Amino acid sequence: MRLIAFCLALLLALACTESEQVPSDPSYSGDVQPLFNMSCVGCHGSAQQNGSYRLDSRTGAMGEGSDPIPNVIPGKPDSSKLYQRLDLGTMPPSGPWDEMKVQTVKNWIAKGANDN
């Protein structure tokens, strides 16, 4: 019984630490670009530009891609295609990101998609 209680406490502690790790005001270079480097630039970078879209720089991320509408609308994550794809889980195609990563990008857009 004690072991179960200990494990539950540990899980709870881990869950809490995780949610605290989502920065409320993420930095593009420190928090956002590293996430894109891990799972997006292979298809949206120097080698391939799927959807005419690059995620290897902030300028690329702000771009329009396959239609004339910018993929990031500062302050409006829900209207930003970049966030929509992550939230729907359709990007990356290998499977949806965990909530923390999606929230980091959402917060970055919500705070104005700063070049920081």
Distance CA 7, CA 22 (A): 24
Name the token pair of 1: 């019984």
- Of the pair 58, 81, the CB lying nearest ligand HEC is at 81
- Of the pair 20, 68, the CB lying nearest ligand HEC is at 68
What mask of x and - would describe binding to ligand HEC in positions 68 to 87, judged by CB under 6 A? Answer: ---x---------xx--xx-
The total number of residues written for the chain in this structure:
116
- Of the pair 21, 90, the CB lying nearest ligand HEC is at 90
Q: Confirm or reject binding of residue 44 to ligand HEC (CB under 6 A).
A: yes
Of 85, 73, 79, which Cα lies nearest the Cα of 36?
A: 85
Q: Confirm or reject binding of residue 108 to ligand HEC (CB under 6 A).
A: no
C-beta of residue 22 within 8 angstroms of C-beta of residue 98: no
Amino acid letter, residue 53: Y
Amino acid letter, residue 54: R
Give least dist CB 27 to ligand HEC, A: 17
Amino acid letter, residue 42: G
Residues lying near ligand HEC in the complex (CB under 6 A) are found at 39-40, 42-44, 50-51, 53, 55, 65-67, 71, 81-82, 85-86, 91-93
